[in-house]
Amino acid sequence: MTPRVTLLATGGTIASQQTEQGLMPLTTASGILDFMPSLRQLADITARDVFMLDSSNIQPEEWQLLAQAVKQAADQADGIIITHGTDTMAYTASALSFMLPGIGIPIVFTGSQLPLTHPHSDAPGNLREAFAMALSGRPGVFIAFQHKVIYGTRAVKMRTLGFDAFDSINLPPVGFFDADGLHLREDERDCEPAMVDDPMAIDSRVFLLKMMPGTDPEIFDHILRAGYRGLVLEAFGLGGLHYIRRNLIDKLQAISRAGLITLVTTQCLYEKADFTIYEVGRGFQGGGIYGAHDMTTEAAVTKLMWALGDLNNRRHLLTRCLAHEMGAQA
């Protein structure tokens, strides 16, 4: 039986064409297949345009549209490929990892650093590898890019120009490509998806704040007054904040008592946050303050938005591994 793949296009560099205003996403899903007709030999392909945006314009509202499109297509497909701009692909892939718990087929994001029509484009190779992953039978949300397959919750864009744009942070890639094709690591059963009511419900009122020496504690009051319900805080090292002269710890505890939910992560890209180790971190344990462990910033932001979508029933899931976003022993 011929495998079935749905191609969902959302714009991005892969779909961009040169205009007087600069590169703009104009190539449709059908146009991608017309440019690469050999893809039709791999599967019975259904092509659909969900939206056509530069990924800088893709926000939580688009995540919900895309998640609905995936859900609608999943029953009629053996795998789904999503073409997406690279700038926010890691955010979208992470968000859908939480919004589509227990998805039974591969959902594979890909894109490119150069438009599909560029003579030196990386798009054809990335598309072929995305198709291979979509037909692998491995369920979950992934990014396939430049010979690597990465969990959607572990990908970070590392390069603005290099073709090897994404790295897998704090977890080896799910798979890789070489002359023999796709090689997948054994699936790690260390996370259990949360089967909750209305998993696509999210609340985008999350603020991301990176600490620097001398940060004024009053910034936390501004965040609270602006109506944010959640805060992802990139602290120093393992999770420290200064309290001499400018007492960030007391202020963070105060806004926590006022109802703001905070996920504390580290500015270090690799390894984890653990504010139980140093005295400068221990002061803000408890209440509505949670450690993000070894999550990427993208995963911390999207998981907190997802948790806030139904906080009463999802709060306890902030510290549980749901989609390979954090170590099982967090």
Mention every residue, 6+ apart, whose C-beta is less than 8 A from residue 123: 14, 111, 112, 114, 115, 116
| Residue 146: both structure tokens together | 């430049």
Q: Given the structure tokens 């704040």, which residue do they identify? A: 209
Q: How far apart are CA 272 and CA 316, in angstroms?
A: 20
> Checking phi first, is residue 56 left (phi over 0); if not, alpha (psi -120 to 50) or beta?
alpha
Would you name the residues annotated as active-site residues? 13, 86-87, 157, 278
Distance CA 44, CA 61 (A): 30
Q: Please give the Cα distance from 61 to 202 (Å, whole number).
A: 9
Q: Which two tokens stand for residue 177?
A: 């490509």
CA-closest candidate to residue 83, choices 27, 39, 38: 27
